[in-house]
Amino acid sequence: MTTPRRTPILTLEHVTMTYADGTGHLTALDDVNATFDSGTISAVIGPSGSGKSSLLAVAGALRRPDSGRVLLSTGTSPTLESSYGTVDLAQLSAGAATRVRRGRIGLVFQQPNLLPSLTVLEQLQATAHLGQTRIVGAARRRATTARARDLLAAVGLDGMAHRLPAHLSGGQRQRVNIARALMNEPGLLLVDEPTSALDTERGAQVLSMLIDLTATADTATILVTHDRTHLARMNAVYRMVDGNLSPSDAGHTDSRRSTVGPHIVN
């Protein structure tokens, strides 16, 4: 079996971002440089307030940096009308950023935020609708439903397509959240503390699933986490301190680690 070729999905170049802070500015990201490739999962660890969520906000086109480039590959997205190539998220208008986010970026936050009145299947179908796939009409509905069912099977929820969120456990809701984030075949999957509301066992299941899905869906996954248990299974680990992002040794004690850049372990 051949390993799919890894390509850069997100590249941050000299990214700096500040928040207005009373009379001055607080620097949340300070000259951040990093590249995240397809088919890899990277953890970002670091103390509270160090800038981890700000990094995801910039990577997810939710906030524009003050300076620097945030280059996202739009290469293989079937859901974007825009040209194939690379966009600089730092330069997009709010409307364009929303379109790129819906078509190319999957977001998973601590709380699943599922819509209470939609079934599990409908949550995924609604996301596909927002992603504006180019397939239309009945063919689109069939393709959407087939993809949703495949993803629900991948996250171990194939029997639960018609349940409402209120009738799921916390771990099951988080798995729906992850399936929903993958619905539009994003190149980039951004995950912020997905296990913080889960017990250890369910948290471990969700993390294992994210690692597997990153490989099968070929996404570049960036995972912000305080949980060091699974760091050895990450392709790379970065540490954020005071807005500075640097490669970290955390979790990697074996001889496979690289000596240059973040520690790639496979």
How many other CB atoms are there within 10 angstroms of residue 37's CB atom?
Answer: 19
- Say if residues 58 and 262 touch (Cβ distance below 8 Å): no
Of 257, 252, 259, 247, which is closest to residue 230 (Cα–Cα)? 252
Among 54, 127, 177, 214, indicate the residue that binds ligand ATP (CB under 6 A).
54
- Closer residue to ligand ATP in complex, CB, 19/84: 19
Q: Which residues contact 137 (CB under 8 A, 6 or more apart)?
A: none
Q: Cβ 254 to ligand ATP, closest distance in Å?
A: 28
CA separation, residue 82 to residues 42, 104, 126 (Å): 27, 11, 21
- Closer residue to ligand ATP in complex, CB, 53/125: 53
Q: Cβ 70 to ligand ATP, closest distance in Å?
A: 15
- Say if residues 71 and 88 touch (Cβ distance below 8 Å): yes
- Tell me if residue 160 falls in helix, strand or coil: helix
- Closer residue to ligand ATP in complex, CB, 48/117: 48
The pattern of x and - marking residues 1 through 40 that bind ligand ATP according to CB under 6 A reads: ------------------x------x-x------------
Among 34, 52, 181, 264, indicate the residue that binds ligand ATP (CB under 6 A).
52
- Closer residue to ligand ATP in complex, CB, 23/48: 48
Task: Specify the stretch interacting with ligand ATP by CB under 6 A; choose among 50-58, 87-95, 144-152, 173-181.
Answer: 50-58
Of 12, 13, 60, 6, which is closest to residue 37 (Cα–Cα)? 6
Among positions 136-165, residues that touch ligand ATP (CB under 6 A) are none
Residue 248 interacts with ligand ATP (CB under 6 A): yes or no: no
Q: Cβ 247 to ligand ATP, closest distance in Å?
A: 17
Task: Specify the stretch interacting with ligand ATP by CB under 6 A; choose among 3-11, 45-53, 158-166, 229-237.
Answer: 45-53
Find the DSSP H helices in 155-250.
Answer: 170-181, 200-217
Q: Which residues contact 165 (CB under 8 A, 6 or more apart)?
A: 112, 114, 115, 116, 118, 120, 123, 173, 176
**Positions in the binding site for ligand ATP (CB under 6 A):** 19, 26, 28, 46, 48-54
